[in-house]
């Protein structure tokens, strides 16, 4: 393990540097670090697993050398973005990306990763690194789509509100992000009937259900605290599937905040089907909020 470090204050933002694109995640994380005044820590994991005898054997030293070059490229890009505003540190580790980022992410302010848009077939057999990391951490995890740029995005933070009276942490995270960015907060709640009954409701029934849901979202927002009074939230209630609604609203947002399942056990936990679908399809960065309050512990 090799690491370059300078003095930092408070938890750092950890960025996973993968073998492919990393520019969008790095730009997002650098902006967040400058805004928060915290360190930016770049991590590349070298996964050296046993290779079948009928495959070409690549020496471990060559793999590590390539990883070090990739990491150096990312460090230079990060330095160009942040200048002297915040310290940039880096680390090359052996292990899987998920394992390395989970370990380093336990004491981080936030973990940021880049993910590619997969083909329909690839989605069946692949799960994102972001999903794997988020399934085992309580800190915020942000997945940034490859090619995303903040230029042109509306100053809007969208939050997906599933069950209003159980969405306190999502609301708190979204309010904090909107406040820090000077952005409008848009809360999106969707509801739907089982497919056999989707056409059974009258227009009046739909309106009453939507009005009731909107009242529940507003009540949950009022319970969050004083920060909510400083932001005029836009509450949107729609009839439809949650993932489809959130993906639609991500098109005009600079950040989408959603909840995830509680990582109760180290093996077999997952982020939930809606979160997985949103990660695959969202067109803006997605922040997977912790299901419980989290206070990062910093170890200098």
> In terms of C-beta density within 10 A (0-12 exposed, 13-18 middle, 19 or more buried), how is residue 219 classed?
exposed
| 93's tokens | 């580790």
The pTM for the full model equals: 0.84
In the block, tokens 């170890």 appear at 299
Amino acid 117: pLDDT: 65
CATH 3.40.50.620 fits 1-144, yes or no: yes
Amino acid 300: pLDDT: 39
Amino acid 25: pLDDT: 95
Amino acid 229: pLDDT: 52
Amino acid 222: pLDDT: 86
| 248's tokens | 């639609």
Q: Which of 99, 105, 109, 129 is nearest to 276 (CA)?
A: 129
How far is the C-alpha of 123 from the C-alpha of 131, rounded, in Å?
Answer: 13
Return per-residue pLDDT of the chain as tens, 300 residues. 444 444 455 799 999 998 888 999 999 999 999 999 999 999 999 876 655 555 455 566 778 888 899 999 999 999 999 999 999 999 999 999 999 999 999 999 999 999 876 554 444 334 578 888 988 888 999 999 999 987 766 789 999 999 898 899 999 999 999 988 889 999 999 987 666 656 666 778 778 888 999 999 988 988 887 555 556 889 999 988 999 999 999 998 999 999 986 555 444 456 788 888 898 899 999 999 976 654 444 333
In the block, tokens 């004491």 appear at 107
Amino acid 297: pLDDT: 40
> For residue 249, what are the CA distances in angstroms to 4, 125, 188, 271?
40, 27, 8, 20
3-state secondary structure of 144: strand
Length of the chain: 300
Amino acid 198: pLDDT: 60
Q: Which residues contact 11 (CB under 8 A, 6 or more apart)?
A: 38, 107, 108, 109, 296, 297, 298
Amino acid 5: pLDDT: 42
Q: Which of 104, 29, 15 is nearest to 298 (CA)?
A: 104
How far is the C-alpha of 134 from the C-alpha of 190, rounded, in Å?
Answer: 23
> For residue 89, what are the CA distances in angstroms to 22, 25, 37, 60, 275?
16, 16, 14, 24, 30
Helix (H) or strand (E) holding 86: none
């Amino acid at each position: 393990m090799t690491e370059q470090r300078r003095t930092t204050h408070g938890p750092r933002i950890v960025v996973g540097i993968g073998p492919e694109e990393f520019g969008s995640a790095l730009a997002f994380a650098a902006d967040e670090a400058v805004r928060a005044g915290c360190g930016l820590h770049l991590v590349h994991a070298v996964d050296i697993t046993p290779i079948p005898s009928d495959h070409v054997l690549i020496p471990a030293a060559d793999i590590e050398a390539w990883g070090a070059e990739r990491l150096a490229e990312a460090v230079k890009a990060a330095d160009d973005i942040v200048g002297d505003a915040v310290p940039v540190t880096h680390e090359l580790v052996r292990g899987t990306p998920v394992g390395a980022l989970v370990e380093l992410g336990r004491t981080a302010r936030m973990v940021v990763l880049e993910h590619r848009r997969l083909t329909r077939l690839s989605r069946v057999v692949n799960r994102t690194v972001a999903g794997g990391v988020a399934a085992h951490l309580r800190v915020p995890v942000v997945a940034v789509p490859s090619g995303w740029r903040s230029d042109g995005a509306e100053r809007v933070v969208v939050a997906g509100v599933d069950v209003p009276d159980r969405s306190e942490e999502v609301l708190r995270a979204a309010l904090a992000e909107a406040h820090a960015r000077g952005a409008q907060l848009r809360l999106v709640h969707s509801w739907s009937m089982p497919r056999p009954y989707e056409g059974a409701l009258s227009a009046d029934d739909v309106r009453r259900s939507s009005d009731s849901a909107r009242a529940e979202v507003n009540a949950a927002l009022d319970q969050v605290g004083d920060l909510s009074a400083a932001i005029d939230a836009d509450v949107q209630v729609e009839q439809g599937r949650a993932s489809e609604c959130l993906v639609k609203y991500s098109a005009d947002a600079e950040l989408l905040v959603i909840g995830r399942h509680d990582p109760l056990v180290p093996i077999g936990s997952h982020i939930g089907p809606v979160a997985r679908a949103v990660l695959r399809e969202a067109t803006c960065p997605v922040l997977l909020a912790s299901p419980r309050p989290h206070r990062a512990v910093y170890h200098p």
